[in-house]
Amino acid sequence: MKNSKTEKRQLKKRHLILSILVVLLTGILFFRTLNYFRQVIIEAPTASLKKGPGIEYSQLKTLKKGSRITIIRSKYHWFYIKTSDNHFGWIADWNLATKERNQIDDLADATIVLDPGHGGADSGALSANGRMEKTYTLKVAKKVAASLRQRGAKVYLTRSADKYVDLEPRAQLSNNVHADAFISFHFDSSPVENGASGITTYYYHQKTSYSLAKSVNSQFKALSLENRGIDFGDFLVIRANNFPSILLEMGYINSSRDFEQINSASYRNQVASDVVRGLKAYFDSKN
């Protein structure tokens, strides 16, 4: 009697060990299979493996078309990956097939290019007392940049100091980083002093940019200057841009009424917070 009980117990024990082993092996197989299916293939002729999630990071290695990689995690338009020969690093999602790319539907995951108009030798338009447009475009863009970064977005500025930058490279930056949104900041000027007043939102490519123009423009409700609405505008920085891009004219610098606003930090802060809210609404509307 005693012996048979012990035997039964041992059999049960063996059964348990066997069951655990089967579960373990199935688990390993499952994760291996899962891992295999998380592998993707480089579609671009060559892809740069970078140290961090951005074109500004140094390159670790070049991956050839057809290379099989395993995605570990993603940030912005970037994937942290493992190569088949066990190298780790970041690659841009535009090196992969369209269906593999990141869908950006959150401001915290967005890549945004801000373009403070003019700079350096190019002063932009002038106020009645000779104040320069380039000074104010930079102030607003920097304010927006700080706020967006605080919300986790990846922000590039076409200039962050008072220096001259051509128009083509401004649009090119947006094209290079595959910007989810590009915003150019300007202040208007009318042929005669005090000839016009108000703010205007411009887009060039209806298909890619109108919804961005709408999201941002609809936030300009509490501003002290009249919202003149959305309009088509043939500006190079938005015309040569392959990604959603708009140009904002945030008041007439040669209107004394508008300049009083442009010159006040509270007006500029309001503009900045409206732009950020507009961007948030734009990305929220994508999911």
Residues 173-212 that bind Zn ion (CB under 5 A): 186
Judged by CB under 5 A, the number of residues near Zn ion is 3
Stretch that binds Zn ion, among 82-90, 96-104, 114-122, 203-211 (CB under 5 A): 114-122
Distances in whole angstroms, Cα of residue 7 to Cα of each of 3, 16, 20, 224: 6, 14, 20, 89
Residue of 116, 117, 119, 251 that binds Zn ion (CB under 5 A): 117
- 77 or 186: CB nearest Zn ion: 186
Beta bridge partners of 169: none
Q: Is 53 in the site for Zn ion (CB under 5 A)?
A: no
3 state SS of 216? helix
The nearest distance, CB 210 to Zn ion, in angstroms, is 21
- 36 or 232: CB nearest Zn ion: 232
Classify strands 46-50 and 59-64 as parallel, antiparallel or unpaired: antiparallel
The nearest distance, CB 221 to Zn ion, in angstroms, is 24
Cβ-proximal residue to Zn ion, closest one: 186
- 53 or 117: CB nearest Zn ion: 117
The nearest distance, CB 124 to Zn ion, in angstroms, is 4
Dihedral sign for Cα 103, 184, 167, 158, please. negative
* Contacts (Cβ under 8 Å, ≥6 apart) of 121: 164
* Contacts (Cβ under 8 Å, ≥6 apart) of 2: none
Please report, as ranges, the residues that interact with Zn ion according to CB under 5 A. Answer: 117, 124, 186
